[in-house]
Amino acid sequence: MALKEYWDGFVQFLADYSIQKILEVIRELQWKELAGNPAVWLIGGVALILMVWRRMIRLMVSLVSIALFLALLQHTLPQSGQTMQLSNLLLFIGGAIGLLLVNLYFIFVRE
């Protein structure tokens, strides 16, 4: 039953926020402000120490992959109303495939 509740919450999130609004939030993400925030460093540092101490390599790779995917989206997405250039599309596809292969390696092969 818990999976059903998570799925309903995800569908409700998508109903409240259109894809355009989600992409706009990603596009406006300020990495410098995030990196300069002491709370992010404190929480991230403690989480990193715990993950290294417990050897949660897969979780660390997954979190880094999510951050890299957001950066890739922010770099390749055009402004709203514009079309995506072929070079940005190829960069996005190549980066997404690369991230997918790294995650598959750490999840399945390295086990």
Domains in the chain: how many in total? 1
Residues contacting 24, CB < 8 A, separation 6+: 80
Distance CA 103, CA 111 (A): 12
Q: Tell me: the pLDDT tens digits for 17-41?
A: 777 777 777 788 888 888 888 888 9
pLDDT at position 53 over 70: yes
pLDDT band at residue 90 using 50, 70 and 90 as cut-offs: very high
Print the domain residue range for 84.
Answer: 2-109
Global confidence as pTM: 0.70
Cβ contact 81:24 at 8 Å: no
3-state SS assignment for residue 29: coil
H helix count then E strand count, the chain? 6, 0
Q: Tell me: the pLDDT tens digits for 70-89?
A: 889 888 988 777 888 899 99
**Whole-number CA gyration radius for the chain:** 17
Most confident of 33-37, 55-59, 64-68: 64-68
